[in-house]
Amino acid sequence: MTDSSESDTSIFVVGVRFKSSGRVNDFKSDGLLLMVGDRCIVETEKGLEFGIVAMARRKIPEDLIQKTLRGVVRKATEEDLKQIENNEAMERKAFEMCQNRIQELELKMKLVRVDFSFDVQKSVFYFIAEERVDFRELVKDMAHHFNTKIEMKQIGFRDEARILGGCGPCGRNLCCASFLKDFEPVSIKMAKDQNLALNPLKISGVCGRLMCCLAYEHETYKELQKNLPKIGKVVDTKEGKGKIIQINLLQENAVIELEDGKRVMMDIKEINQQ
């Protein structure tokens, strides 16, 4: 008889967020007991990085993990936290200096944020630009002053919203800055299928693009629409014949206009039975 503990290949993982706003990545926690809110040092492709536990420790079967997970090295020490404070001070200084230099060089770009790696061996300058930018002189100045490897990373408007964070029209934290791992394609057809008013102010997020949440219920709407009667169809009601002038998808009923102009409500199921 085999001991189930010996055949168990599950591993413990925690979700770690590198900034206050951003995606959550899974890391092996091994023997470390980490709670949500704990600050930690993790191993990444770019070296050691500082992060905050955003999802509690949980057990996952190893065969369900699609990629090789790196691990949490340790809980952040006092020395680590001092390093982070120094890094954040450098990031603020780098942002201000880069912003001023962009203006001096008259570069058509918008600086969004500056991130230094935990070991200060590399810094990433995130920016938005509508056209190609020659920032060689800018990179040279930043590298000379901070004595570190400089990466200029061009991002889109949705990425900017993810990095900066904020609140959506619903009053909650932006989806992209809290739980979304990837941006899914969103089209105006999704808004049409959900019978939403095609007002850009109503269906656009803080990034100025269509709201990601339009995709969340789209499949449900498509499924419900399969059995809907068409607008204009003539149907029989208890009060006589009439034609469908409006369909309430979620309530699963329709507004029927009778021959005398009177309007009545009728369930979709009753209409489909005719």
Q: Which among 56-60, 64-68, 144-148, 231-235 has the top mean pLDDT?
A: 144-148
Residue 2 has pLDDT above 70, yes or no: no
200 and 214 in contact (C-beta within 8 Å)? no
Residue with tokens 């079967």: 61
Whether 23 shows a pLDDT value over 50: the answer reads yes
Give the lowest-confidence range in 15-24, 77-86, 165-174, 182-191: 15-24
Whole-number average pLDDT of the chain: 87
pLDDT surpasses 90 at 260 = no
pLDDT of residue 5 exceeding 60: no
pLDDT beyond 70 at 59: yes
Q: How far is the C-alpha of 29 from the C-alpha of 73, rounded, in Å? A: 8
Give the span between the Cα atoms of 84 and 10, in whole angstroms.
Answer: 33
Averaged pLDDT for residues 51-77 = 86
Query: In angstroms, rounded to a whole number, what is the distance separating the alpha carbons of residues 107 and 134?
Result: 8
Q: Is 236 left (phi over 0), alpha (psi -120 to 50) or beta?
A: beta
Q: What is the pLDDT of residue 246?
A: 86
What pLDDT score does 261 carry?
Answer: 84
The string over 193-210, giving b where at least 16 C-beta atoms fall within 10 Å of a residue's C-beta and e elsewhere, is bbeeeeeeeebebbbeeb
What's the mean pLDDT in 31-53? 90
Indicate the residue type of 271: I
Q: What is the pLDDT of residue 1?
A: 44
More confident residue, 87 or 178: 87
Q: Which domains does the chain show, CATH number per domain?
A: 10-76 (no CATH), 81-158 (3.30.300), 184-226 (no CATH), 234-272 (2.30.30)
pLDDT attached to residue 57: 87
Q: What is the pLDDT of residue 152?
A: 95
Query: Is a pLDDT exceeding 80 seen at residue 176?
Result: yes
Query: Is it the case that residue 8 has pLDDT exceeding 70?
Result: no
Q: If you average pLDDT over each of 29-33, 44-48, 125-129, which comes out highest? A: 125-129
Integer-rounded Cα radius of gyration of the chain: 27
- Amino acid identity of residue 273, one-letter, is Q
Whole-number pLDDT of residue 20: 56
CA nearest neighbour of 102 among 145, 138, 134: 138
Strands (E), the chain: 11-17, 24-28, 39-44, 47-60, 72-75, 110-116, 122-128, 149-154, 234-237, 240-248, 253-258, 263-267
Q: What average pLDDT score do residues 229-251 get? A: 84
- What does the pLDDT read at residue 138? 95
* pLDDT score of 265: 85
pLDDT for 258 beyond 50: yes
pLDDT in tens, 84-137: 999 999 999 999 999 999 999 999 999 999 999 998 989 999 999 999 999 999
Does 22 have pLDDT greater than 70? no
Residue 147's contacts (CB-CB under 8 Å, 6 or more residues apart) are: none
User: Can you give the pTM of this predicted structure?
Assistant: 0.76
